[in-house]
Amino acid sequence: MAFLTKLREFSAWHTVAPPLVFFAMLLVVGVFNSNYLGPLGISIATASAAPILLVALGQSMVLNIGSIDLSNAAISLVGAILLAMTIPAFGVGAMIAVLALLTVIGAINGLILAYTHVPSFALTLGTLGILQTTALVVSGSETIYLSENRELVTTLYSAKLFYIPLTFWMGVVVAVAYWVLLRLTRVGQNMTAVGKNESGAILSAIPTKWVKVIAFAISGFTGGLAGIAIVAQAGSASASGLGSALLLPGIAAALVGGTSISGGLTNPLNVVFGALTVAFVPIAIQAIGFNAAAQSLVYGIFIIAVVTLTTTRTRGLVIK
Amino acid sequence: MTQAYPPVLKLTRISRSFGKVKAVNNVSLQIDRGEVIGLTGENGAGKSTLLKILAGIERPDEGTMEINGKVANFRSPNDAFKAGVGVVHQEQSLFTNLSVAENIEQQNQSRMGLERFGFQNWKRINADAAAVLKKIGVNLDPKARVGDLSFVDRQMVEIARAVCVEPGGDGTPLIILDEPTAVLEQAEVEVLEREILKLKKFASVIFVSHRLDEVLRICDRVLVMRHGVLTSDRSTEGVTKDELFKAMVDDAPTVSTHARSSRPIELKPAIEVQGLTMKGKFRDISFAAYPGRITALVGTNGSGRGRIMRALFGAEEFDGGTIEVAGKPVHNWSIRKAVAAGLAYVPAERKVEGMIGGYSGTRNIALVHPGEAARGQILRPGKMAETAQSWFDRLDVNPNNIKQPLDQFSGGNQQKVVLAKWLNSSDLKVLMLDHPLRGLDVGVSQAVNAEIRKACDHGTAVILIPDTIEEALEMADEIIVLRDGQLSARHDLSVASDLAIKEIVAEMV
Amino acid sequence: MRNLSIKNLSGPTGILAALVVLIVLFSLLNPRFASVENLQNVLFQVSVPLIIVVGTSLVIQMGSIDLSVEGVMGAAGMAWILLSPNTRLEGDIGVWAWFVALGLGLVLGLITGAIYAKLKVPSFVVSLGTWYVGLGIAILLYGNALLPSLTSEALARWPTQLTLGLPNCFWLAAVILAAGVFVSHYTKFGRGLMAIGNNEPIARSNGMPVDRYKIAAFAIAGTLCGLAGILATMQLGSGSPDIGFGQLFVVIPAAVIGGTALSGGEGGVIRSAIGVFLLIILNNGLVLAGVDPDYQSGVFGMILLIAVIAVAWPQRGRLKVAK
């Protein structure tokens, strides 16, 4: 315990650790398979990291206000399916419409949270169930392939800049945008204030309800971008295909990226490293010779370990 | 007869300090079998710390405590319970989802027969609780759910639970009642008083109360504390309220230190309330605060003054009455509207409510009224730092580091930043402060008071809830005294210059 | 008065009434619903979530939550089938397979409980972690081979066999349920969980071993999830890491509509069990009425949403903080 406390007091943890953890992971993988340290490795890792990064960025914004969004990965999956269905007919217009719809879905989560004070994990567990069904029903439990306008999205994946696909760059741009939002705007400052101390924020006349709605709307919007990344990568979408298991990697990436589960602390730029680390997990597991599907074991341990290491514990505080 | 038994409680030179403050200072006292002792004193006189020591929540730094002749060294509330000290706390501490019997028998782990083969023996538990309720003469169903009971009935369950303590041998239980009447209606108070007299038959009682009438009526003896010291220990026979007031407050007969300025009294109040009422909390409160004047709300903790202030700030609902700000009545009052109308509120719970602890001074100051530091939604980091730096310099915040998270500062310096956050408004109409000097040392207190006066001089109306009456007399132009949620007196200090503290205390209790 | 309105919505009488209405409605809509086969089918479906919900209720009663259900089921179910007579024939150790599988559930529960109680990490995060740890263990056990099938006829048919007219799997669930009711009403531990959920600081100051109770509650929940994983594997006749898929969306809404408030201190095992019946019968009736089974988690998610909002609505306040 004393050791844990010391480690947490080392305040640089949140700023320095995410890149360090990533490079350590890179090194381990490199030892087993040096190919991963070259351009090919960079392409593969960043490509698989892109959807995780986008989901994690949305999650970070919600974690930053002290809540959690268990539905955001399902939002991106619904988004991917809707995109695969509508892009052939409507092209870019479909993308805009789907993003707008998903933003509204996120905002609804936020509205319910703000006006009913339901614990966010219970609320979003409910919406998660609804969205899972939506994904199955809308897709008819089938894989939907992009017939027309395919290259409109798939270029985002195939076109590369410095060996890195555009989908990952999209994540980086979003990360920078969210960094600016949090650090340099009043609404961003208010979000962090709500996460650090909601009572203090309420009594400082911060519009806490709107802050929550906006944070969840952002989570929905970013989930939509993750949906685009999924469709770009797979050229198709299905309820059980690529992107159907993004919830845990997303939360893990946010936490490994230095976001605090108790709120008020996140750095979107570090979440980029968190996402890369998490994307390397299946690669590393395979390199050691296990079934890559066992990655969920590692994600689970990641989440518990990071939260255990970074939670601040006040004496006498009741933890539920 | 009493010689046959050791005293139920004997304290010898008990002291307990928090930092530099001696909350309990060298207290010695003795309580015998069947005695009902009243304990009274102003807020912060050290009563609660003394109770906490008796209840096993705090441990004394010095001195010895004997219960029924045995030296007691409590490490937990459970130890106190086992030694025979039963406490009814000010805040009810029952499990509202469990039955009356379960609550009463909660700590009775050692009593035989409540468990059979390790399992709850409901028959015995209910029968046992029924016996306890009968012993104290209360008619309650042991199987009833505590959450469904009225407040005074729950109080009875608390007493029944306290009575279950096990003093062992022929020891006598010591029952402590911490301000049990603070939130009760008159009829309920009478029920409780009868109850206490019944307890006398088999227990000794310490009854803590602000209300001297009650203390004089029920108790055999009354103890008064002031600044941690026991200042009076008298039999209730023959003692007058006046004598007790004297023991409660400092000797200085009249305080009128602050030369009240010849500020012109403006005719238009900055904020005015008429008949403000919140059921069960406060009722029919009417007063006004004027630009350039300080109005102090004085009363005990249960007087409702904190809630009234929160209602003015839109942080608390109220069911009746009106609030007028700058002559206009408000509707659907909320914190956001209050702040937009130029109100500010410095809460008593500084760390939890007053500031964002994890944020720097810069961020805290830019939170409500960023002024120059924001253009619309966009923050300007350079201007933010500039503003924060000028406040840190002006208020002499130490350490002078605007980037350091606020929770790493001392309480006094935090309070300066909290003030800066509100004072950074260019258009501050009403500044409300709840215990602004709580936990601050003398130097910082003076700086904070100076800043409050300065705001006042600039035409802000100040409403203040002071820690002490001295503070009220020093700062305020008008004192409003509250008792049990009602306005009991008001004093315009620019007229009445020789107001005695004693007089105000008499209006409070 | 405020309490009354919540009770009407989610109290035992309310939910029982809802259950009766549902049964009558479905019986009228579809004659097949009230048939003996279908009722046996309902009891067959209800057994697994009934076993889980006993543990879930104990955990929620003390104000915590256990999200690890599906992962623990997967791990225990997979361990059990690989150690029982199966198509992969890796090692049949007979009755010891039960001990290993239940032990795995117990250990996962203990880990969740210990990290939650001792390291003070919110239970929803820890159990989210152990959910995926369990799932990962199941996948590792499964490896890259074919899914194992149960080869012992006796074991595969046991759940559906009737004893006194009811399927064995339901008898098992009923025994667990009875034990759960007994623990929560007649042991100091069970009453202690209610006390912790109502007011943890007071429970602590009364000298209650709060941390040990918390760990024990999660250990019980983990073990029961293990048992549920075994039973589900027997019912299916083959192992799968996803054996518990969808169960979380049955047991948590069931507990909440049964009146086990997520804030703790309310509700009980019986009420949650009624909640399970309500949801399973609702699902069964909808499927008979021709609704796609895909709708299940959506319908249950919606019910969870409405139930939590109904509970939270009266407690709103200006300064209320919602995480």
State pLDDT tens for residues B122-152.
888 888 888 888 888 888 888 888 888 877 7
Shared-domain flag, residues B25 and B121: no
Mean pLDDT (chain C, rounded): 85
Task: Kindly indicate the confidence band of residue A148, based on its pLDDT and cuts at 50, 70 and 90.
Answer: confident
Q: Does C26 reside within a domain?
A: no
Reply yes or no on domain A41-310 having CATH 1.10.405.
Answer: no
Q: What residue ranges do the domains of chain A occupy?
A: 41-310
Q: What is the mean pLDDT of residues A182-194?
A: 94
* Antiparallel, parallel or unpaired: β A236-237 and A144-145: antiparallel
The domain boundary, picked from B197, B217, B249, lies at: B249
Q: Encode pLDDT of A61-110 as tens digits.
A: 999 998 999 999 999 999 999 999 998 888 888 899 999 999 999 999 99
Q: Does C248 reside within a domain?
A: yes
C297 contacts A133? CB cut-off 8 A: yes
Task: Kindly indicate the confidence band of residue C82, based on its pLDDT and cuts at 50, 70 and 90.
Answer: confident
DSSP H helices, B84-222, are: 100-105, 122-135, 151-163, 186-199, 212-218
Shared-domain flag, residues B237 and B196: yes
Taking contacts as CB-CB distances below 8 angstroms, the residues of chain C near B93 are: 199, 202, 205
C319 contacts B97? CB cut-off 8 A: no
pLDDT of residue C5 exceeding 50 = no
pLDDT of residue A56 exceeding 80 = yes
pLDDT of the residue at C1? 30
Of residues B76, B81, B98, nearest to C195 (C-beta): B98
Which residue is associated with the tokens 């071993």? C209
Q: Encode pLDDT of C37-73 as tens digits.
A: 888 888 998 999 999 999 999 999 998 999 999 999 9
pLDDT of the residue at B255? 44
Please indicate if any CB of chain A lies within 8 Å of the CB of C122: yes
Shared-domain flag, residues B451 and B310: yes
pLDDT of residue B259 exceeding 60 = no
Domain containing C10 — which CATH number? Answer: 1.10.3470
Spatial separation of the C-alpha atoms in residues C248 and C49, rounded to whole Å: 9
Q: Does B255 reside within a domain?
A: no
Shared-domain flag, residues B292 and B305: yes
Q: Does C129 reside within a domain?
A: yes
Shared-domain flag, residues B382 and B313: no
C319 contacts B93? CB cut-off 8 A: no
CA separation (Å) from C213 to B182, B509, C260? 36, 45, 18
Q: Does C25 reside within a domain?
A: no
Spatial separation of the C-alpha atoms in residues C203 and C62, rounded to whole Å: 11
Q: Does B206 reside within a domain?
A: yes
pLDDT of the residue at A268? 93
Task: Kindly indicate the confidence band of residue C228, based on its pLDDT and cuts at 50, 70 and 90.
Answer: very high
Shared-domain flag, residues B492 and B361: no
Q: Does B15 reside within a domain?
A: yes
Counting one residue from chain A and one from chain C, the pairs whose CB atoms sit within 8 A come to 182
pLDDT of the residue at B1? 43
- In 3D space, the residue among A283, A60, A95 whose CA is nearest the CA of residue A179 turns out to be A60
pLDDT of the residue at C58? 93
- C196–chain B nearest CA distance, Å: 9
Domain that holds residue B422: 357-426
Shared-domain flag, residues B186 and B57: yes
Shared-domain flag, residues B380 and B459: no
Q: Encode pLDDT of A193-243 as tens digits.
A: 999 999 999 999 999 999 999 999 999 999 999 999 999 888 888 888 777
pLDDT of the residue at C10? 41
Q: Percent of chain C scored above 90 by pLDDT? A: 33
Please indicate if any CB of chain A lies within 8 Å of the CB of B347: yes
Q: Does C36 reside within a domain?
A: no
Task: Kindly indicate the confidence band of residue B273, based on its pLDDT and cuts at 50, 70 and 90.
Answer: very high
Q: Does C29 reside within a domain?
A: no
Angle at B80 between CA B79 and CA B83, to 5 degrees: 90
pLDDT of residue A142 exceeding 80 = yes
pLDDT of the residue at A13? 59
Task: Kindly indicate the confidence band of residue A285, based on its pLDDT and cuts at 50, 70 and 90.
Answer: confident
Q: Enter the tokens of residue A137.
A: 């029903």
Domain containing B215 — which CATH number? Answer: 3.40.50.300
Please indicate if any CB of chain C lies within 8 Å of the CB of B95: yes
Mean pLDDT (chain A, rounded): 85
Taking contacts as CB-CB distances below 8 angstroms, the residues of chain B near C202 are: 93-95
The number of distinct structural domains making up chain B is 4
The number of distinct structural domains making up chain C is 1
Task: Kindly indicate the confidence band of residue A312, based on its pLDDT and cuts at 50, 70 and 90.
Answer: low
Taking contacts as CB-CB distances below 8 angstroms, the residues of chain B near A197 are: 352, 355-358
pLDDT of residue B263 exceeding 70 = no
Shared-domain flag, residues B76 and B197: yes
C195 contacts B118? CB cut-off 8 A: no
Residue type, C169: C
Please indicate if any CB of chain C lies within 8 Å of the CB of B264: no
Q: Does C34 reside within a domain?
A: no
Q: Percent of chain B scored above 90 by pLDDT? A: 17
Q: Mapping DSSP to helix (H, G, I), strand (E, B) and coil, where does residue B116 land? A: strand
Q: Percent of chain A scored above 70 by pLDDT? A: 92
More confident position, A43 or C176: C176
Shared-domain flag, residues B115 and B143: yes
Of residues B313, B315, B370, nearest to A186 (C-beta): B370
Domain that holds residue C74: 2-18+42-313
More confident position, C199 or B165: C199
Shared-domain flag, residues B402 and B272: no
pLDDT of the residue at B253? 44
pTM: 0.83
The C-alpha R_g of chain B, in whole angstroms, comes to 26
Q: Encode pLDDT of B172-181 as tens digits.
A: 888 888 887 7
